[in-house]
């Protein structure tokens, strides 16, 4: 009896391993689950916080203009003067052609313009009170993509 006790005492210390020692067989998943959760949340946070945002640069001309009217004809070149307004729930644009066009048509027209002609062209944007900001940005965006310099009245 005492020899048995002595033998168990003199046994080398048991090494720790990834397998649990409480009669269960298999790796201990808890640390891995913790780390995976942290990584998952980190990427979710990075996607949300870091970004996907950028900005468009717009000039603010010195001459202040509170009106939403645009002649569209007596303009110094090279300038494209567009005025957005709402007509029966539809966003229209005046200043490109003789009559007002739908916003989508104007975007398509500007997209189809020759980039060499657009380079250096000043796109001056104005809008009536009810025009959503996103519509102004969409015209700004397509103008910028063609190399125009955009100013907002």
Of 125, 120, 132, 122, nearest in space to 106 by CA: 125
ω into residue 128 within 30 of 0, thus cis? no
90-94 and 79-87 beta bridge pairing:
antiparallel
User: Which range in 73-81, 99-107, 115-123, 124-132 contacts other proteins by CB under 8 A?
Assistant: 124-132
Among 1, 7, 13, 88, binds other proteins (CB under 8 A): 13
In this complex, which beta carbon is closest to other proteins, that of residue 102 or of residue 145? 145
DSSP state of 29: -
x/- letters, 52..81, toward other proteins (CB under 8 A): xxxxxxxxxxx-x-x---------------
Chain-centre distance of CA 49, in angstroms?
11
User: CA–CA separation, 87 vs 33, rounded Å?
Assistant: 57
Select 62 or 98, whichever has its Cβ closest to other proteins: 62
Distance CA(50)–CA(47), nearest Å, equals 6
Cβ(123)–Cβ(151) under 8 Å? yes
Instruction: Establish if 17 lies at the interface with other proteins (CB under 8 A).
Output: no
Which residue stretch of 4-12, 34-42, 72-80, 112-120 sits at the interface with other proteins (rule: CB under 8 A)?
Answer: 34-42
By CB under 8 A, is residue 36 in contact with other proteins?
no
Binding site for other proteins (CB under 8 A): 13, 16, 22, 30-31, 34-35, 37-38, 41-42, 44-45, 48-49, 52-62, 64, 66, 84, 127-134, 136-138, 140-141, 144-145, 152
């Amino acid at each position: 009896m005492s020899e048995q006790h002595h033998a168990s005492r003199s046994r080398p210390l048991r090494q720790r391993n990834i397998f649990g020692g409480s009669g269960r067989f298999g790796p201990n998943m808890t640390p891995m689950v913790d780390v995976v959760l942290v990584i998952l949340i980190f990427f979710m946070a990075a996607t949300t916080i870091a970004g996907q945002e950028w900005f468009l640069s717009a000039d603010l001309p010195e001459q202040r203009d509170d009106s939403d009217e645009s002649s569209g004809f007596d303009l110094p070149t090279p300038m494209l003067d567009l005025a957005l307004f709402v007509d029966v729930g539809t966003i229209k644009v005046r200043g490109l052609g003789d009559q007002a066009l739908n916003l989508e048509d104007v975007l398509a027209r500007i997209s189809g313009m020759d980039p060499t002609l657009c380079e250096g062209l000043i796109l001056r944007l104005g809008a009536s009170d009810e025009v959503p900001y996103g519509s102004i940005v969409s015209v700004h965006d397509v103008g910028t993509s063609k190399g125009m310099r955009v100013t907002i009245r």
